[in-house]
């Protein structure tokens, strides 16, 4: 049987005290990709950021941001 994935929500972050988690989602997505750029694709150290943004961000946003990164049109600082 395949490994079971344990789903957890990102921990509370004092930078995002309101219930609207849009900025929190976007920041975690950027942190993940910055970590990959700094540590490399093979690093497991970035996996926590991946879990955070995947638990916070809608799948449609992630797909769109991935396409934008591939096309060089991503609006955030990577």
pLDDT tens track for 41-58: 888 889 999 999 999 999
pTM equals 0.75
Residue 23: pLDDT band with limits 50, 70, 90: confident
Taking the C-alpha atoms of residue 64 and residue 74, their distance in angstroms, rounded to an integer, is 9
Taking the C-alpha atoms of residue 51 and residue 40, their distance in angstroms, rounded to an integer, is 17
State mean pLDDT over 7-24.
Answer: 76
Q: Quick one: pLDDT at residue 6? A: 74
State mean pLDDT over 2-31.
Answer: 79
């Amino acid at each position: 049987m395949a490994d079971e994935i344990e789903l957890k929500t990102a921990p509370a972050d004092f930078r995002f005290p309101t219930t609207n988690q849009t900025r929190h989602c976007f920041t975690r997505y950027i942190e993940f990709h910055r970590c990959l750029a700094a540590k490399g694709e093979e690093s497991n150290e970035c996996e926590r950021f991946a879990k955070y943004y995947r638990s916070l961000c809608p799948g449609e946003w992630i797909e769109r941001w991935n396409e934008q990164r591939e096309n060089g049109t991503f609006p955030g600082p990577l």
